[in-house]
Amino acid sequence: MRHFLSSAFLAALLSAASAAPTAPQGGSFKVERVATGNTVARNGTAELRKAFAKYGWSMPTTQNLIVTTPSENAAASGTTGQTGVVTNTPEPNDAEFLSPVNIGGQTLMMDFDTGSSDLWVFCTEQPSDQLSGHDPFDAAKSTTFQNSTSTFDITFGDDSGASGTVGTDTVNIGGATVTSQAVELATSASSQLVEDTQSQGLVGLAFSSINTVKPNKQNTFFDNVKSSLAQPVLTANLKHDAPGTYEFGKIDSTQFQGQISYVPVDNSQGFWQFTSDSFAVGNGQMQQNSQASPAIADTGTTLLLADDPVVQAYYSTVPGVSFNQEQQGFVFDCNTQLPDLTLAMGSNYNAVISGSLLNFAQVGNGQCMGGLQSNAGQPLQIFGDIMFKSQFVVFDNSDTPQLGFAPHA
């Protein structure tokens, strides 16, 4: 039976200052993304809906997505300096990248999400019909778990989400350990989340200001561990249909080409947000994005959602493209050779995304759905895993946060 604490002690327990790293300081730790064995085919429409729901947006319609296409003939412990690494391996078709996380001695496959700030898990307190196929966390089996009276409630735009209770436990990711890390135990989850049986929860790695725990927001694992790292950084090395890595505390120069180019981050909204105001299609010249919404780097989103000027200019070069109302996105013949897309990351670096990465999923009748889709006029561009599979990305969580980009090695 779990140990229930006094209310006074609970308040202290869940203060942001209570969590502490326990691995040797001054190093790094690496987290691998591990294959899940899931054989479900890519579903572009489902991923698009998931992304729009995450940010509370309405799905796009044809009215604002008209393109002119070419002819068919057109072509931590108080010690410092720790580092560590875990593998990140995609579910088949790159729909989701999962990594092992040890909580209270139990290893769970979880999704690292730089677009949210809650560490929440499926747990044994949920109704049995929500746990079929899952490997939930069992707080009763942890000798380090402590309950609290705090709660969490993550609700997305379509009313999907999870809610439940909050405690603290020892969390180990790739060798670095934070004691008294806030761990959110779902007692209820929406069907959309329940259906993803490969994932046992999320590790939110955006800024702690958007954490949903009440009455007091809690720090992310990244915020709790950063003071003990050799460098206060997280790197994401995602790959197409192959294992990649997340690494805390170190920038591995063997994983990228050339030099890292950095862009300032505006974290006022809690996201890894930066400017991206120009683009190029294929071998064309860079051109201004007249809408120029800020972009965020989000490992928890599969697709790349850009402003309409970018999407319209790109698909205007693709023969036979159309906006499919049923799929709610742009589709084209699966044999089409798509052009590369270049996106400005701040003012000093342009990221080239291979056209091969932008052919995301088959939708039937020889048609495929693009990995680039419209943000439907919303005030953010969401650069998800489509972008990450072309770039080595550094999340620098220092006092002046910044993002770094370079092509994969």
Q: What is the pLDDT of residue 5?
A: 32
Q: Which of 94, 223, 298, 385 is catalytic?
A: 298
Looking at the DSSP assignment, which residues form a beta bridge with residue 82? 229
- In the numeric block, which tokens belong to residue 370? 């693009």
**298 catalytic, yes or no?**
yes
Q: What is the pLDDT of residue 95?
A: 54
Work out the burial of residue 288: count CB atoms within 10 Å of its CB; fewer than 13 is exposed, 13-18 middle, 19 or more buried: exposed
Q: What is the pLDDT of residue 18?
A: 58
The closest alpha carbon to 317, from 303, 337, 293, belongs to 337
- In the numeric block, which tokens belong to residue 402? 């910044």
Q: What is the pLDDT of residue 8?
A: 36
Give me the sheet containing 273-274, strands edge to edge. 273-274, 295-297, 381-383, 304-306, 372-374
Q: Rounded to an integer, what distance in angstroms lies between the CA atom of residue 210 and that of residue 204?
A: 10
71-115 pLDDT per residue, tens: 333 335 444 565 656 666 555 455 567 899 999 999 999 999 999
Which alpha helices (H) appear in 56-188, and where do they start and end? none
Walking along the chain (409 residues) 10 residues at a time, the average pLDDT comes out as 33 48 68 59 73 76 50 42 62 68 97 95 97 97 97 74 96 90 97 90 96 98 94 94 89 97 98 98 98 96 96 96 92 97 97 97 94 95 96 98 97
Q: What is the pLDDT of residue 36?
A: 56
- In the numeric block, which tokens belong to residue 259? 């030099």
**129 catalytic, yes or no?**
no
Beta strands in 249-328 (DSSP E): 261-264, 273-274, 278-281, 287-288, 295-297, 304-306, 322-324
- What is the pTM for the complete model shown? 0.86
Q: What is the pLDDT of residue 52?
A: 77
289-298 pLDDT per residue, tens: 999 999 999 9
Which alpha helices (H) appear in 34-127, and where do they start and end? 44-54
Quote the DSSP letter at residue 140. G
Q: What is the pLDDT of residue 19?
A: 77
Pairing label, strands 201-204, 106-113: parallel
- In the numeric block, which tokens belong to residue 251? 């920038």
Q: Which of 94, 111, 113, 396 is catalytic?
A: 113
CA torsion 218-129-37-387 (nearest 10°) is -40
Q: Please say whether the beta carbons of 303 and 371 come within 8 A.
A: yes
